[in-house]
Amino acid sequence: MGLIVKTTARAIIPLIGIFGTYIVVHGHLTPGGGFQGGATIAGAGILFLVAFGLDEMKEQYNKSLYSALEGIGGLTFLGVAMLGMGVAFFYNTLWHNGPFFNGQPGTLLSAGYLPIMNLAVGLKVFTGLVSALTTIALYRRWKS
Amino acid sequence: MKRTIAYLSLLFILGALLYIANPNYGLKFGPGGSEWLALRYTDNYYITHGLKEVGGMNIVTDIVFDYRGYDTIGEATVLFTAIAGAIALLRPWRRDEA
């Protein structure tokens, strides 16, 4: 892409990233959450891919790292869901009698495991969508 | 011939769905008052008890991650499988790598 597009992308990508992180972190307080915020941050990654081209993306993108991060996101989700295994699966033990994340409803450090789950799902969606789009961009065989 | 039957059955299904969606015979749109309590008692429970039982201000997040967390696990699994499948299918062929 041209110079104007590259400069604008350089200015906008951090803003999209911050906004997506805000959506993920405030998932238990405002509309949004892990899936929506993760897709927003993945939009920043796709803007990077479109604006700077595939060669630049190849240097920044690490397939093993992104695959590992996606797995870690899913495992964090499952691990947090199993915290209250003494009562039931998906028992929100951090909220009922946990050491942290048990503040007044409406504050950032409240709602038990919901913020951790939002972060895990956001990480998973972001890395997954960026990996998928980069793989599609790397598929450059127009004939046969 | 087969295509005609297919279009006719599509038309029939559309007509049946339109009949069901008619408020006089089937679904009610925008229930309020006592209808709300009769038809949407689960929603009413979530709205009344969600803040106390889960602690999040966002009721959608409360439902998706706490009350119905299994559904979210399945959703995450679907996403994981879709991306793994896409990446596995879009890899270069072995003879092209070289």
Tell me, what's the ipTM? 0.80
Mutate to test the interface with B, among A75, A80, A82, A92 (most CBs of B within 10 A): A92
Longest dimension (CA), chain B: 71
Q: A94: which 2 tokens?
A: 């951090």
For the segment A20-29, what is each residue's pLDDT rounded down to a tens digit? Answer: 999 998 888 8
Tell me the average pLDDT of chain B. 85
3-class secondary structure, B24: coil
- Positive or negative torsion for Cα A80, A86, A89, A95: negative
Mutate to test the interface with A, among B60, B64, B65, B71 (most CBs of A within 10 A): B65
The answer to whether B74 contacts chain A (CB < 8 Å) is no
d(CA A41, CA A61): 15
d(CA A113, CA A80): 7
For the segment B37-87, what is each residue's pLDDT rounded down to a tens digit? Answer: 888 888 888 888 888 887 778 888 888 888 888 898 898 899 999 998 988
